[in-house]
């Protein structure tokens, strides 16, 4: 019985060692694959193209935000001007009616 237990423990240990070895081989192969991809992607043209793409994207976002905010500010200014005109007309109408009420 002790001998059977010893054999099972040995087989379990061997299985764990093989599993660890397979895990390490898998990690190594993934690392090699990522390194090859990175090396391929970081060629001179690739690096500059990525940089140009990022800069162009940021510029486009900045322009778009500026346009959106600019339109919003223009709309607010126009609305404020209209309100001021309406208030001025209302005051003018009120001032015309006041002398009529006093009579």
| 6-53 pLDDT per residue, tens | 888 899 899 999 999 999 999 999 898 888 777 776 555 667 778 888
Alpha-carbon distances of 6 from 2, 11, 16, 18, 20, rounded to whole Å: 6, 9, 15, 18, 21
Give me the pLDDT at residue 79, please.
Answer: 84
> For 71-75, what is the mean pLDDT?
70
Each domain of the chain, given as residue ranges in start order, spans 2-75
Give me the pLDDT at residue 96, please.
Answer: 85
Q: With bands split at pLDDT 50, 70 and 90, how would you rate the model's confidence at 80? A: confident
Give me the pLDDT at residue 3, please.
Answer: 85
Buried/exposed 30-58: b ≥16 CB within 10 Å, e otherwise: eeeeeeeeeeeeeeeeeeeeeeeeeeeee
Q: What is the DSSP letter of 42?
A: T
Give me the pLDDT at residue 70, please.
Answer: 66
pTM metric for this prediction: 0.38
């Amino acid at each position: 019985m002790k001998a059977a237990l010893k054999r099972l423990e040995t087989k379990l240990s061997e299985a764990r060692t093989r599993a660890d070895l397979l895990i390490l081989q898998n990690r190594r192969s993934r690392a090699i694959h990522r390194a090859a991809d990175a090396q391929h992607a970081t060629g001179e043209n690739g690096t500059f193209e990525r940089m140009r793409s990022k800069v162009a994207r940021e510029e486009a976002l900045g322009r778009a935000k500026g346009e959106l905010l600019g339109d919003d500010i223009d709309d607010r200014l126009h609305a404020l001007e209209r309100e001021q005109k309406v208030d001025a007309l209302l005051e003018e109408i009120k001032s015309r009616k006041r002398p009529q009420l006093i009579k």
